[in-house]
Amino acid sequence: MWNIIRAEVSYHRYIFLTFLAFVPLLIVHEMMGPAERIPPAIVIWMIVFLPVNTWVSVRAKDKRELQYMQMPVKAYKIGMARILMVLGSALASTAVYLALHMIFAQSAPLHLGAFFASTLAILFIYSLVFIVGDRVVGHRGLSDAKIWISIFMGFMVLGNLYLLLLTRRARRSGGEPPAFIRALGYVFEHHPFSTNLHTTVTVCVVAALVVLSVVSFTRRKTQFA
Amino acid sequence: MTKAMSIENLVRRYTGFQLGPLSLELEPGTVLGYIGPNASGKTTTFHCLTGLEKADGGSVEFFGKPNDPEKPAWKLDIGYVGDRHAFFEGWTGEKNLAFRGQFYPNWSEDLARNLARRFNLPLDKKAKSLSTGNRVKLSLVSALAHSPRLLLLDEPTTGLDPVVRKEVLDTLFEVLESGERSILYATHILPDISRIADELAFLIGGKLMLRCPKDDLLDKWRRISFRTRLEVPALKAVVEHLTEKNEHQVISADADATLTHLGTLGVEGIQETRMTIDEIAIEILKGGGHVEHH
């Protein structure tokens, strides 16, 4: 499995490096603005992360996974490598953020919680994407799976952008936020990390989905369209 | 003795098509040509064998080990070249081979380099810039460099022009002739395999029509001509019967049985000619394989 992860990282190193280059922007943002601006920055980071990582994981994925499946590697390890690549990207970003923060922005508050939350969100989304993809691969073919994954990811990215724009408009106008955002207020107040119990449940749900994504890979009916 | 490959009641269903139930065994050191027209289920068989598709029923074993995706030691014994050649497209052939080599304890870099030289394969080019022929060659080197005991070759020369096809096959067979390995070679182009096959299996519409040693086919199948003014009944083991006035020409799947039968009918001018394995295969694929062999 580690050989596969090493190969994937080596194969996509320029994409990962380019992506990690976005992290210093968060630090700059953090140093320049008030602390409350950080969560939207993390959202922006996620918006960057999602399409980039989707591109990495879907790009010629069928052929790479086909190659792995032909080699003497346990199927579950290939499924694990797939989700670990996503986790690894998120953790690498967090590590870069942490290092840059310690070097350049020690006085600013550390927003590791936001990174932790966004890492969980990314794992949640990707596990779902992989599970949906695996099920579609089994029944409709890989080409269709790509279409479904693209649609799913498109909704996620556009949804995030929409929320960001609504929030920004509400802040600029100084008035009441739109009803949609107000309705979400309750959810935000009781967000998945508002209490220890909420956090534990969130971590458990994400962990279960990660495991399911591995099982789902091993249960693929076919590796072909 | 442990079979190189043992397939028992393998079934794979699609809408409008079903492969099997298919049962097939392969002795160590045997070369089996797996012959069938397009869409007969050859590639599906290979996908099920290699675990790239899950079968709906049945079992597959290689050298006594089931093809369990979670116990992949069986993959160490096989080399597979399929219809799709999967590489890291942005890596050179050499780097792709080095990556593969990490997973096989028997992998020999020297053998890989030697094979690449014999195939005239440029290892310094990125996979994405290789021609179709060179991609096939890279797949073959990948499949052979860990010296597998069983080779699964699924129409490896598909899409190649005749010159490259001949070059690839000549080198491949030269390499294979020197080893004691089992081979399952699927093709719809019989001349590709007839020169090295020990046995032939014919697959039509997802069903195994006939499996027979190549020499048996050559011994038994004959084109027989004769003359008679009498009406000729259905002849034993005949798969095709052409008549022009009193002249008859038949193709027999068992010349002895047909000739004995003709002897009882008192026909004249019997002549028999041998058939090539290609001609026999065409007759079988046309539907002649169902004739009972005596």
Nearest chain A Cα to B56, which residue? A221
Which of B24-55 are b and which e, b meaning 16 or more Cβ less than 10 Å from the residue's Cβ?
Answer: bebeeebbbbbbbeeebbbbbbbbbbbbbbeb
- B47 pLDDT tier (thresholds 50, 70, 90): very high
Residue B93 has pLDDT above 90, yes or no: yes
Nearest CB to B52 within list A3, A73, A223: A223
Nearest CB to B102 within list A3, A67, A74: A3
Q: Write down the pLDDT at residue B292.
A: 44
Q: Judge: B54–A222 Cβ closer than 8 Å, yes or no.
A: yes
Tally A–B CB contacts below 8 A. 68
- B294 pLDDT tier (thresholds 50, 70, 90): very low
Helix ranges restricted to H, chain B: 42-49, 93-101, 109-118, 132-144, 162-177, 191-194, 214-220, 255-265, 277-285
Domain B216-290 = CATH 1.10.10 = no
Residue B161 has pLDDT above 90, yes or no: no
* Chain B interface, Cβ < 8 Å to A: 47, 50-54, 69-73, 75-76, 80, 82, 84, 86-91, 99-100, 102-104
In chain B, where the domains are located: 5-205, 216-290
Q: Write down the pLDDT at residue B132.
A: 86
Residue A164 lies in a domain: yes
Range of the domain at A194: 2-218
Query: Which residue of A12, A70, A135 is the best one to mutate when testing the B interface, meaning the one whose CB has the most B CBs within 10 A?
Result: A70
Task: List chain A residues with CB under 8 Å of B88.
Answer: 7, 11, 64, 67
Residue A225 lies in a domain: no
pLDDT in tens, A120-139: 877 888 888 888 878 776 55
* Chain A interface, Cβ < 8 Å to B: 3, 7, 11, 60, 63-64, 66-67, 69-76, 218, 220-224
Q: Write down the pLDDT at residue B253.
A: 87
Mean pLDDT in residue range A158-178? 64
List phi, psi (to 5°) of B42.
-65, -50
Of A110-114, B3-7, B48-52, B117-121, where does mean pLDDT reach its minimum?
Answer: A110-114
Residue B42: closest CA among B82, B86, B84: B82
Nearest CB to B90 within list A11, A73, A218: A11
Q: Write down the pLDDT at residue B291.
A: 47
Q: Judge: A222–B52 Cβ closer than 8 Å, yes or no.
A: yes
ipTM above 0.85? Answer: no
3-state DSSP call for residue B286? Answer: coil
Residue A147 lies in a domain: yes
Residue B62 has pLDDT above 70, yes or no: yes
- A149 pLDDT tier (thresholds 50, 70, 90): low
Nearest chain A Cα to B83, which residue? A224
User: Tell me, which fold does domain B5-205 have in CATH?
Assistant: Rossmann fold (3.40.50)
Choice between B120 and B293, residue whose per-residue pLDDT is larger: B120
Q: Judge: A72–B72 Cβ closer than 8 Å, yes or no.
A: yes
Q: Judge: B52–A73 Cβ closer than 8 Å, yes or no.
A: no
Average pLDDT score, chain B: 86
d(CA A102, CA A98): 6
Counted domains in chain A: 1
Q: Judge: B88–A11 Cβ closer than 8 Å, yes or no.
A: yes
Nearest CB to B53 within list A3, A67, A222: A222
Nearest chain B Cα to A225, which residue? B53
Average pLDDT score, chain A: 73
Mean pLDDT in residue range B197-205? 89
Residue A109 lies in a domain: yes
Q: Write down the pLDDT at residue B293.
A: 43
Task: List chain A residues with CB under 8 Å of B89.
Answer: 60, 63
Task: List chain A residues with CB under 8 Å of B86.
Answer: 63-64, 66-67, 70
Q: Write down the pLDDT at residue B156.
A: 85
Residue A223 lies in a domain: no
Residue A141 has pLDDT above 60, yes or no: no
Nearest CB to B70 within list A63, A74, A224: A74
pLDDT in tens, A4-53: 888 888 887 777 777 777 777 767 766 666 655 555 566 566 656 666 66
Smallest CA–CA separation between B12 and chain A, in Å? 11
Could you please report the per-residue DSSP string of chain A? -HHHHHHHHHHTHHHHHHHHTTHHHHHHHHHHS-GGGHHHHHHHHHHHHHHHHHHHHHTTHHHHHHHHHHSS--HHHHHHHHHHHHHHHHHHHHHHHHHHHHHH-TTSPP-HHHHHHHHHHHHHHHHHHHHHHHHHHHHT-HHHHHHHHHHHHHHHHHHHHHHHHHHHHHHHH-SPPPHHHHHHHHHHHT-TTSSHHHHHHHHHHHHHHHHHHHHHHHT-SBS--
Tell me the pTM.
Answer: 0.79
Smallest CA–CA separation between A122 and chain B, in Å? 26
